[in-house]
Amino acid sequence: MDIATTTSENSHFNQLQLASFEPIKKIKKRFNCKLCGRKRMYFCYNCRVYIENVGDYVPKVKLPFNVDIIKHRLERDGKSTAVHAVLLAPEQTKIFDNFVDVPEYEL
């Protein structure tokens, strides 16, 4: 029994049903963000919103927990993967760009 076979047989991902990527693959140009007007391909990383109707093809995920992301002040929005979390799970995800805005946490 090899590891690859065992992993694929037991994978929880086998139950997932993915929608077609074709509508998103067809997007070949950049559009203006409806909030800031900057040209972006799929989403605006500054405004943290999808471009045009891309959001119609991307699921919203309900996480079993809340996620607070504290971004370093020098981290560029265009390079940060934090935006992906906000777009996919907007109800459970917050990004704090400024350290003074971070709430006090209790352990």
- Residue 13 within a domain: no
- Residue 1 within a domain: no
- Residue 4 within a domain: no
17-32 residue pLDDT tens = 888 889 999 999 999 9
69-86 residue pLDDT tens = 999 889 999 999 999 999
Round to whole Å and give the CA distance between 44 and 95: 15
Round to whole Å and give the CA distance between 48 and 39: 13
Count: domains in the chain: 2
Q: Is the pLDDT of residue 2 over 80?
A: no
- Residue 7 within a domain: no
Question: 3-state DSSP call for residue 70?
Answer: strand
**pLDDT (0 to 100) of residue 12:** 76
On whether both 76 and 51 belong to a single domain, the answer is no
Domain range enclosing 82: 60-101
**pLDDT (0 to 100) of residue 9:** 63
On whether both 50 and 77 belong to a single domain, the answer is no
- Residue 3 within a domain: no
